[in-house]
Structure 1
Amino acid sequence: MSLADQTFVAMCKDILENGVSTEGEKVRPHWPDGTSAYTIKKFGVVNRYDLSKEFPAITLRKTAIKTCTEEMLWIWQRKSNNIHDLKSTVWDEWADENGSIGKAYGYQLGVKHQYKEGMMDQVDRVIYDLKNNPFSRRILTNIYVHEDLHEMNLYPCAYSMTFNVTQKKGDDKLTLNAILNQRSQDILTANNWNVCQYAVLVHMLAQVCDMKVGELVHVIADAHIYDRHIPLVEELIKRPQYKAPKFWLNPEIKDFYKFTRDDVKLIDYETGPQITDIPVAI
C-alpha cells in the first residue's frame, strides 16, 4: 500500500482525535455565506516522504499531477504573480482586476539579490549552490518577506524550502533532500497537492543537478481540518488504499527552465473517486 496514504490517514486521525477546535474564537476565514469557518487543528505536524522509495501521491482520491506541477512552475520557474500566466483557477479569488495577487509567491522568487557571486534571484541561487557548493547548509528560499506583506493579497502559506545534500556510502551521485515549511494548511484541499508539487520540484532540481532524490520533509505549523470538511475527511480516510504510482520525469530535460507540465507523469495510478464540491473557506 502507498506510504503516502498511510501518512495522510494517520495525520487526519490524529487531528480529528487529538486536535483543538477553534470554535468560538475570532477567526479570519469564513464561508461564502458569511459564517465563520472554524477548524480542528494540530500544531507542528511533521511528515516525511522518502522520494527514493515512492512518489507520495495519495491513492484515496486522485491528485492532478499536471495541474499541481503547473502551479508550482508558475511560482518557481515563471516567478509570476499573475493568474493570467496560469491555466487553473485556484488563485482567481485572490487576484485583483488585473490578475495580480500582489508581491506574493512567484514575485518574491523573482527578485534579484546581490551575492558575492553576483546578482541572482532565489531560485537561481539554489541551483547555483547545488551545482557549485552542494554541501552548503545555507541553501534555502524564503518568500515570507515582512516589508512586502501589506502588498500581498494572501500571505504565503508554503513559505520556505531548505535543501540539504548528502552522499550515501558507495553512491557515485549525491542525494538531494528538502524541507518544506508551511505556516498553515487546509488538509483536505491542499495537503497532498502541496506534497506532490514539492516532490516534483525536488525531482526536477535533482535531475538538472545530476543528483538522486532523497527525503522531502513537510513541516506544518497549523495543520487544520475545517468544520464543514470533517465528514468528507472521515469518509476519505476509510477508503481502500492502492499501490503508489510510478513517477516519470522527462529524462531529456537538463535545464530547470525547460520543464513543462507535460514532462511529468504518474504511471499505474489507481485511485478512489474524486471528492467534488468541497466548500472552500476564504
Structure 2
Amino acid sequence: MSLADNIFITMCRDIIDNGTSTEGEKVRPVWEDGTSAYTIKRFGVVNRYDLSKEFPALTLRRTALKSAMDEILWIWQKKSNNIKELNSHVWDSWADETGSIGKAYGYQMSVKHQYREGMMDQVDRVLFDLRENPYSRRIMTNIYVHQDLHEMHLYPCAYSMTFNVTKEKDSDQLILNGILNQRSQDVLAANNWNVCQYSLLLMMFAQVSGMKAGELVHVIADAHIYDRHIPLVQELISRPAYPAPKVTLNPEIRDFYQFTVNDLTVEDYQTGPQIKNIPIAV
C-alpha cells in the first residue's frame, strides 16, 4: 500500500464515521436532476505527503497524472482562464460560450503586481524568490481575490500555495516544501487529483530552482463526501492497494515555462479499476 492510499483511506473513514451531515440544511450545490447535493463533512483536515519518499498517487484507482499536469500547467504556466487551452473537459460546466471561466484561477496568476523589485505576476514572483531569496517566509500565492469574485464563474477551491525552503540534514542541498490551502474539497472527485497536481508543481519548481522536492502539506477547511458518493467511497477504500508508482520529470528542463506533459514519466503504476460516471454536484 502506498502512503497516499493509507492517508486517503484513513481520511475517508474519519469523514464517514465522525463527520457532520448537511442533510436538510440550506446548501448551494445541486445534482443534475435539481435535487440538493448534501454531504458528510470534516473541518480542518491536514494531510502530509513526503515527496522524497514516494509520489502520492492513489493505487486504489488510477489518477490521470498527465491530465493533472496539463491542468496545473494551464493555470500556473499558461495562466489561462479559457478551457480551449486545456486538453480535458472537467471545467466545461463553468465556461461561457467563449470558453472563459471569468477572472478565476489562471487569470489571477497572470495579473502583474508592483513589487520593490519591479512588476511581476505571482508565479514569476515565486520563481524570483526561490532563486534570489529562498529562505524568505513570504513566498506565497493567493487567487481568492474578493474584488474579482463577482466576475468568477466559480470561486477557487484550491486558492493558496505557501512555499518554504529547508535544508537536507548534514548537507547543503536545499529542499522545497509547500502548503496547499483549500477552502472546500469533493474528496472522491478531486482529492488525489489536487494532491498529484500540486506535488508535480512542487517538483517542477524545485527542479528549476536547483532544489529537491520535500513535503506537500494539504490543508482542507471543508473536506466532504457527497451523499451519492458514499457507497462509491466505501467500495473504493475496501480495495487492495499497491506500491506507489515512480514519477519523474525530464531532468534537462531548467525553465518552468519549458515544461510540457511529455516531460512527465510514470512507471510501475499498478491500480484498481477506475470509477466511471461519478455524479458531480454543481
Q: Could you say which TM-score interval applies, normalised by the shorter chain?
A: over 0.9
* 1:92 and 2:92 matched: yes
Q: What is the match of residue 2 of structure 1?
A: 2
Task: Give the Å deviation of 1:248.
Answer: 1.3
Q: Deviations over 1:223-282 (max 9, x none)?
A: 000000000000000000100001110101100000011111221000000000111101
Deviation at 1:187, TM superposition (A): 0.2
Aligned equivalents of 1:221, 1:279: Cα separation in 2: 22
**1:29 counterpart SS class:** coil
CA distance in 1, matches of 2:25, 2:259: 44
**Residue matched to 1:22:** 22
SS of equivalent residue, structure 2 residue 276: coil
Percent identity for Structure 1 against Structure 2: 74
Match of 1:190 in 2: 190
**Partner Cα separation in structure 2 for residue 78 and residue 261 of structure 1:** 13
CA distance in 2, matches of 1:172, 1:211: 10
Q: Deviations over 1:48-72 (max 9, x none)?
A: 0000000000100000000010000
Partner of 1:11: 11
Q: Which residue of 2 aligns with 1:52?
A: 52
Is the 1:60–1:271 Cα contact (8 Å) retained in structure 2?
yes
**Across the two proteins, how many residue pairs are aligned to each other?**
282
Give the match for residue 142 of structure 1.
Answer: 142
Check if 1:102 corresponds to 2:102: yes
Matched residues in 2 for 1:38 and 1:275: separation?
Answer: 20
**Structure 2 residue 242 is the aligned partner of structure 1 residue 249:** no
Q: Which amino acid aligns with 2:148?
A: D
RMSD: 0.5
Query: Any idea what SS the aligned residue of 2:183 has?
Result: strand
- Distance of 1:65 and 1:170 partners within structure 2: 33
In the aligned structure 1, how far is the partner of 2:55 from the partner of 2:202? 11
* Aligned amino acid, residue 269 of structure 1: Y
**In the alignment, does 2:223 pair up with 1:223?**
yes
Q: Tell me if structure 2 keeps the 8 A contact 1:60–1:272.
A: yes
Q: 1:166 Cα deviation (Å)?
A: 0.5
Q: What's 1:132 paired with?
A: 132
Deviation at 1:173, TM superposition (A): 1.5
Residue 169 of structure 1: how far off its partner (Å)? 2.8
* Whole-Å separation in 2 of the counterparts to 1:191 and 1:164: 22
Q: Which amino acid aligns with 1:245?
A: P
Q: Does 2:155 correspond to 1:155?
A: yes
- How far apart are 1:142 and its partner, in Å? 0.2
Q: What is aligned with 1:113? A: 113
Q: TM-score, normalised by structure 2?
A: 0.99
Deviation at 1:172, TM superposition (A): 2.6
Counterpart code for 1:137: R
CA distance in 2, matches of 1:74, 1:171: 35
SS state at 2:213 partner: strand
Which one is further off, 163-172 or 114-123? 163-172
Task: Report if aligned partners of 1:22, 1:40 keep a CA contact under 8 Å in 2.
Answer: yes
Would you say the 8 A contact 1:167–1:175 is kept in 2?
yes
Q: Deviation of residue 133 (structure 1)?
A: 0.2
CA offset at residue 170 of structure 1?
Answer: 1.8
Aligned residue number for residue 76 of structure 1: 76
Provide the residue aligned with 2:263 in structure 1: 263
Give the match for residue 122 of structure 1.
122
SS in 2 for 1:234: helix
The answer to whether the 8 A contact 1:57-1:245 is kept is yes
SS of structure 1 residue aligned to 2:168:
coil
Deviating runs (4+, > 2 A) in structure 1?
A: none
TM-score normalised per structure 1: 0.99
Whether the 8 Å contact between 1:65 and 1:265 is mirrored in structure 2 is no
Q: Deviations over 1:130-151 (max 9, x none)?
A: 0100000000000000000000
Query: For residue 141 of structure 2, what is the amino acid of its counterpart?
Result: T
- The one-letter code of the counterpart of 1:138 is R
Displacement of 1:100 in angstroms is: 0.4
Q: Are 1:180 and 2:185 matched, yes or no? A: no
Query: How many Å separate the matches in 1 of 2:186 and 2:171?
Result: 38
